[in-house]
A and B are shown apart, each in its own frame.
Chain A
């Protein structure tokens, strides 16, 4: 106990009947090596203090010694559930610096991949969230459907998780001849499976009791903490980069930015389910209209960004992902910074979990959809 007294940064004194519990770095509900130092009074959560850095991999520093072509493949390893979006963000940023116009075909392919990746990410989130709530069967249903998407990825890019598909100038390969057929088959199948998700969890009385009204994040707090993505939209903060600063083929598609009002755990949960429907709509609009042409522009041998600062943001499954490059005109970036959604989202948890039970803390953490390498980078 003594050793933790120094670590605890909160100003309030530890009372004798409160106690500290280390949730993590090895804990089933932190989904990775995140450590939460939780102050409890009985079952009630008094304070949550995240300790990060257990899986820090120094990707930002590593990029300083890599060329712009090589950087995207490292970003796969940050938010591994949004590998394609990360790749795309770097590619877009580099393209911005070089002022290259990407072929239309590449734009369409990238957008379809974005949405497939978002679907896969939300499916994994759904099944892990169900598991956090104690419904273990959801885990397998979610993974079962995600498998179809990963198979599509594997066929076109040759990898399932670390895609490295989007490269500066376009995409790495042209789509596989079966791609359109498979995607359409998947959408057809998943349109039937998604209502099943809702029957299993959304309507369930136990689930509703546990999530409705729990862990409310107000819109002001969401903005103040820099929360983005579905977690912030559930509080009514319109922050969808796909709408605000459309990139790739998003200007060509019609879709709704889904906004919630309550900002509680249930809204955050249901919003992601609705987003899955929206993602399928977007894919359906694009899949038949992929224009013919090149899938990438030919890049010069050595890519050198002109001196300056470049910033590009994209919407991942978890929120706004930003890439900030400072170039001094050499072939490596002078400094590269990633704005990762998980990092900001994590620190909003303390504020909203206070006063709820441990079980609610797990549920709240679940709806923030944390990916730890994304936080630690």
Chain B
């Protein structure tokens, strides 16, 4: 007798455990407004990345086409995988002294692991992380960028 009770107990117990699970899924089925899907390309306009999001390294320029990079090369040293190459030139400043200045700040986005170490290393806060994330291009060469814009100058008052 006991075994029969156990047998039916098992059946009903099992059955109810299944129903509990079905209740959970049914609740979500009937509350479709709680869906979590983001329809990505459609929601581009409203999609906002957090302000610390690490998308790519950029060098901000102000309205006079001036940046803060002195060409010290510390970011190149800090980078663990050689994504940054600094090419410097020497310029003659107004008082006739020879000075080192940035010629090209070359950044290989394709190699960058977005680790943020270059930004920490930069003594003059010349580079920062941008929030863009759509980096797909047809040609790999487009991923190699020159961060300082052509004709840009060092901002006044940035010391090395």
Whether the complex brings A and B within 8 Å at their CB atoms is answered yes
B116 touches A158 (CB 8 A): yes
A205 touches B117 (CB 8 A): no
Chain B 7-30 interface mask (CB, 8 Å, partner A; 1/0): 000000111011011011100000
Chain B 111-135 interface mask (CB, 8 Å, partner A; 1/0): 0011111001000000001000000
Chain B residues with Cβ below 8 Å from A205 are: 13-15, 17-18
Given known contacts A158-B50, A164-B115, A205-B17, A172 and B25 CB-to-CB distance under 8 angstroms: no
A199 touches B21 (CB 8 A): yes
Q: Does A35 contact B (CB under 8 A)?
A: no
Q: How far is the CB of A94 from chain B (nearest CB, A)?
A: 14
Which single member of A66, A158, A164, A196 contacts B53 (CB below 8 Å)? Answer: A158
Which single member of A158, A162, A206, A208 contacts B52 (CB below 8 Å)? Answer: A158
Given known contacts A73-B80, A137-B25, A199-B24, A156 and B113 CB-to-CB distance under 8 angstroms: no
Q: Does B145 contact A (CB under 8 A)?
A: no
Q: How far is the CB of B31 from chain A (nearest CB, A)?
A: 13
Chain A residues with Cβ below 8 Å from B50 are: 151, 154-155, 158, 176
A172 touches B116 (CB 8 A): yes
B24 touches A156 (CB 8 A): no
Chain A 190-214 interface mask (CB, 8 Å, partner B; 1/0): 0000001001110111101000000
Chain A 58-74 interface mask (CB, 8 Å, partner B; 1/0): 00000000100110011
A196 touches B113 (CB 8 A): no
Chain B residues with Cβ below 8 Å from A208 are: 17
Q: How far is the CB of B60 from chain A (nearest CB, A)?
A: 17
Chain B residues with Cβ below 8 Å from A158 are: 50, 52-54, 116, 129
Chain A residues with Cβ below 8 Å from B117 are: 69-70, 73, 164
A164 touches B13 (CB 8 A): no
Cα(A206)–Cα(B20), bound, Å: 13
Q: Does B78 contact A (CB under 8 A)?
A: yes
Residues from 33 to 70 in B contacting A, C-beta threshold 8 Å: 36, 49-50, 52-54
Chain B residues with Cβ below 8 Å from A200 are: 21, 24-25
Number of A residues near B (Cβ < 8 Å) is: 29
Cα(A31)–Cα(B116), bound, Å: 29
A144 touches B18 (CB 8 A): no
Q: Which residue of A lies closest to B129 (CB)?
A: A158
Q: How far is the CB of B15 from chain A (nearest CB, A)?
A: 8
A204 touches B114 (CB 8 A): no
B52 touches A173 (CB 8 A): yes
Q: Does A101 contact B (CB under 8 A)?
A: no
Q: How far is the CB of A120 from chain B (nearest CB, A)?
A: 16
Q: Does A297 contact B (CB under 8 A)?
A: no
Q: Which residue of A lies closest to B25 (CB)?
A: A137
Q: Does A100 contact B (CB under 8 A)?
A: no
B24 touches A196 (CB 8 A): yes
Q: Does A45 contact B (CB under 8 A)?
A: no
Q: Which residue of B lies closest to A301 (CB)?
A: B74
A70 touches B20 (CB 8 A): no
Q: Does A8 contact B (CB under 8 A)?
A: no
Q: Does A157 contact B (CB under 8 A)?
A: yes
Q: How far is the CB of A262 from chain B (nearest CB, A)?
A: 20
What are 15 A-to-B residue pairs whose CB atoms are below 8 Å? A66-B80, A69-B78, A69-B117, A70-B78, A70-B80, A73-B113, A154-B50, A158-B50, A164-B117, A173-B52, A196-B24, A199-B21, A200-B24, A201-B21, A205-B17
Residues of A within 8 A of B (CB): 66, 69-70, 73-74, 137, 144, 147, 151, 154-159, 162, 164, 172-173, 176, 196, 199-201, 203-206, 208
Residues of B within 8 A of A (CB): 13-15, 17-18, 20-21, 23-25, 36, 49-50, 52-54, 78, 80, 113-117, 120, 129
9 shortest interchain CB distances as A-B pairs: A205-B14, A70-B80, A73-B115, A158-B52, A158-B54, A155-B50, A205-B17, A203-B17, A164-B115
